[in-house]
Chains A and B, each alone.
Chain A
Amino acid sequence: TQLLEQSPQFLSIQEGENLTVYCNSSSVFSSLQWYRQEPGEGPVLLVTVVTGGEVKKLKRLTFQFGDARKDSSLHITAAQPGDTGLYLCAGAGGDTGFQKLVFGTGTRLLVSP
């Protein structure tokens, strides 16, 4: 069974601080996606990374895919209260096949003003 472990599970920080969320697995994925989910809503896709070592930036968010395509990280610079939410990584391909997404355990972020 493929598992995607995220760390930390919960993070509470002040506005303006930087943070990094990690997504780790022992399995190789053909692509990895990051989502943000707010309470009572579905996940919203932030980015997809597909190449080992790839780095993508989305405003204050920087996503990196590990060289071996087994892990990924999300770095947020100068966090804002609007960044509050549940961050989920999800891998596609590998043992589960192309169609399915395997979701990570999730990181709950709270940014206080």
Chain B
Amino acid sequence: GAVVSQHPSWVICKSGTSVKIECRSLDFQATTMFWYRQFPKQSLMLMATSNEGSKATYEQGVEKDKFLINHASLTLSTLTVTSAHPEDSSFYICSARDLGLAVISSYNEQFFGPGTRLTVL
């Protein structure tokens, strides 16, 4: 249980194009999903919190118009990197909180996807 998938697992694109990354909770419902960015040999940096049916909450320093987040259903959130540039190349990871667990637990356990490696040429 508690499986989160991401698609694609890797993508290479030209500078100036937009790239969409999907994050799905496969066997549970997630009212909240999180998007992280990870540079090589570094820790995870939270980019934004995605809530189903409402606007995402972005962390300080993260451009809302650059990283578009949509959370249209309880099992799907998407991150679109618009007009990508080489500096956007990174490993993007999503996570999701199980709605059922969130009700009974205060532990804030998140289940992580396998990540998407974006390379912008």
- How far, in whole Å, are A102 and B111 apart by their CA atoms in the complex? 15
Interface segment, one of B70-78, B82-90, B112-120: B112-120
Q: CB-defined interface of B14-47 with A at 8 Å, one 1/0 digit per residue?
A: 0000000000000000001010000001111110
Residues of A contacting B109 in the complex (Cβ-Cβ under 8 angstroms):
33, 45, 48
Residue among A40, A48, A88, A101 making CB contact with B46, cutoff 8 Å: A101
Interface residues of B (CB under 8 A from A): 4, 6, 32, 34, 41-46, 49, 91, 93, 95, 97, 106-115, 117
Minimum CB–CB distance from A87 to chain B (whole Å) comes to 10
Contact A30 B32 (CB under 8 A): no
Which of B6, B49, B107, B113 sits near A48, CB closer than 8 Å? B107
Shortest distance between the CB of B47 and any CB in chain A (Å)? 11
Q: Is A31 among interface residues, defined by CB-CB distance under 8 A? A: yes
Q: Are B110 and A101 interface neighbours, CB within 8 A?
A: yes
Would A99 and B108 count as touching, CB distance under 8 A?
Answer: yes
Distance, CA A33 to CA B44, complexed state (A): 14
Partner of B44, one of A30, A43, A44, A48: A43
Q: Which residues of B contact A43 (CB under 8 A)?
A: 44, 93, 112
Q: Does A66 touch B at the CB level, under 8 Å? A: no
Contact B108 A31 (CB under 8 A): yes
Of the candidates B32, B91, B111, B112, the one whose C-beta lies within 8 Å of that of A99 is B32
Q: Judging by beta carbons under 8 Å apart, are B108 and A93 in contact?
A: yes
- Measured CB to CB, the closest approach of chain B to A19, in angstroms, equals 19
A80 to chain B, nearest CB (A): 22
Q: Given A31, A42, A102, A108, which contacts B112 in the complex, CB threshold below 8 Å?
A: A42
In order of increasing CB-CB distance, the 8 nearest A-B pairs are A42-B112, A92-B108, A106-B43, A103-B44, A103-B43, A42-B114, A48-B107, A43-B112
Given A40-B117, A99-B108, 17 other A-B contacts at CB below 8 A?
A40-B91, A40-B114, A40-B115, A42-B113, A42-B115, A45-B111, A48-B109, A50-B106, A88-B43, A88-B44, A98-B106, A99-B49, A100-B46, A101-B95, A101-B110, A103-B45, A106-B43
